[in-house]
């Protein structure tokens, strides 16, 4: 039994190279248990590479990385059991119904039959989607789909949920409801690790890191970052950092 550390993610000197190209250049940061951590950066700055390593999908070249108390080198299976993952590109199976999707994921995490049923009902009720439980995912609006995808990603009560551009293309109201869901999840002790291109969403994070060319250029609370870079909002902070 590992004791729960305060830092749910601890990254020291993480390097990832593809040939001579350095995608992640000695990243050092931590994520605190229960916080919303914004992981920002321009396209190609190395965010996806880093997330893949943290999720146990690829190995770093070097560095010391602990996720949920497990080492990314030899405890990847344990890590995968403790995390949830959702991205804009892939979240749910389009040709399955809402109910089938939920049951599929519940089955993957080996929940009991009775528990699956009751949790499914709970979840659909909370999202107000019970009336369309037998519709195919491809037939429902993107916003609903993303909300359901998030609920499914935290269905097994993971320690951390990785959200890769979860709100891309979603309407402004649903986008906000989505962030409220993220916030509610953190109240239950789940840590959220989020990327986004909407800069107003950066404000909703407890702490934000900004990557530029494979390095973390800034990491702090939105309020401190704005002060530090003399900007009125996170968009300005981002433009100042990423442009230089």
Partner 1 sequence: MSLILDHIDKSFETVQALRQVNLEVQEGELFGLIGPDGAGKSTLFRIMASLLIPDSGRCTMLGHDVVKEYREVRQIIGYMPGRFSLYMDLSVEENLAFYARVFGTTVKENYDLIRDVYDQIAPFRKRLAGKLSGGMKQKLALSCALIHRPRVLILDEPTTGVDAVSRREFWDMLKKIQGEGITIVVSTPYMDEAEMCDRVGLIQKGNLMAISDPASLADGSDARLFSLRSNKGVYAYLDQLRKMEGCRHVWLFGDELHVTLRSAADVNQVQSAIREWADDSLEWKSIVPTIEDRFMELLKEEEI
Contact footprint for partner 1 (CB under 8 A): 41-45, 88, 141-143, 165, 168-174, 176, 179-180, 183, 197-200, 203-204, 222-223, 233-235, 238-239, 242-243
How many Cβ atoms sit within 10 Å of the Cβ of residue 160?
23
Q: To the nearest 10°, report the CA torsion of 9, 92, 42, 59.
A: 50
Which residue's CB is nearer to partner 1, number 120 or number 201? Answer: 201
Q: How far is the CB of 155 from partner 1 (least distance, A)?
A: 23
Q: What does the DSSP 8-state code read for residue 122?
A: H
Which residue's CB is nearer to partner 1, number 64 or number 165? Answer: 165
Which residue's CB is nearer to partner 1, number 67 or number 234? Answer: 234
Q: How far is the CB of 106 from partner 1 (least distance, A)?
A: 27
User: Alpha-carbon distance 234 to 217, whole Å?
Assistant: 14
Q: What are phi and psi of 53, to 5 degrees?
A: -70, -45
User: Alpha-carbon distance 31 to 11, whole Å?
Assistant: 9
User: Alpha-carbon distance 15 to 30, whole Å?
Assistant: 15
Query: What are the distances in angstroms from CA 211 to CA 7, 16, 35, 181, 199?
Result: 20, 14, 19, 26, 14
Q: How far is the CB of 243 from partner 1 (least distance, A)?
A: 6
Which residue's CB is nearer to partner 1, number 35 or number 100? Answer: 35
Please enumerate in sequence order all residues whose Cβ is within 8 A of that of 54, keeping only pairs 6 or more positions apart, or say none: 9, 11, 65, 67, 72, 162, 193
Q: How far is the CB of 147 from partner 1 (least distance, A)?
A: 13
Q: Which two tokens stand for residue 176?
A: 């906000």
Which residue's CB is nearer to partner 1, number 94 or number 171? Answer: 171
Q: How far is the CB of 8 from partner 1 (least distance, A)?
A: 20
User: Alpha-carbon distance 55 to 66, whole Å?
Assistant: 11
Look at the chain and count its residues: 244
Q: How far is the CB of 200 from partner 1 (least distance, A)?
A: 4
Which residue's CB is nearer to partner 1, number 94 or number 180? Answer: 180
Q: How far is the CB of 126 from partner 1 (least distance, A)?
A: 15
Which residue's CB is nearer to partner 1, number 56 or number 143? Answer: 143
User: Alpha-carbon distance 59 to 72, whole Å?
Assistant: 7
């Amino acid at each position: 039994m590992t004791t729960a550390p305060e830092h749910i993610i601890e990254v020291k000197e993480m390097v990832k190279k593809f040939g001579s190209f350095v995608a992640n250049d000695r990243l050092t940061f931590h994520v605190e248990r229960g916080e919303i951590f914004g992981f920002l950066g321009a396209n190609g700055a190395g965010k996806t590479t880093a997330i893949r390593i943290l999720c146990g999908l690829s190995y770093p070249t070097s560095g010391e990385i602990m996720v949920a108390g497990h080492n990314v080198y030899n405890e990847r299976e344990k890590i995968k059991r403790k995390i949830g993952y959702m991205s804009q590109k892939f979240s749910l199976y389009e040709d399955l119904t809402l109910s089938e999707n939920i049951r599929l994921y519940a089955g993957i995490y080996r929940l009991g039959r009775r528990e699956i049923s009751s949790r499914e009902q709970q979840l659909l009720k909370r999202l107000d989607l019970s009336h369309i439980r037998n519709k195919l995912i491809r037939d429902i609006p993107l916003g609903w789909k993303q909300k359901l995808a998030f609920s499914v990603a935290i269905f097994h009560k993971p320690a951390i949920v990785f959200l890769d551009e979860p709100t891309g293309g979603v309407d402004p109201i649903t986008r906000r409801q989505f962030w409220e869901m993220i916030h509610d999840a953190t109240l239950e002790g789940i840590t959220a690790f989020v990327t986004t291109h909407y800069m107003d969403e950066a404000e909703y994070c407890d702490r934000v890191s900004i990557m530029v060319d494979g390095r973390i250029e800034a990491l702090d609370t939105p309020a401190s970052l704005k002060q530090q870079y003399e900007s009125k909002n996170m968009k300005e902070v981002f433009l100042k950092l990423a442009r230089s």
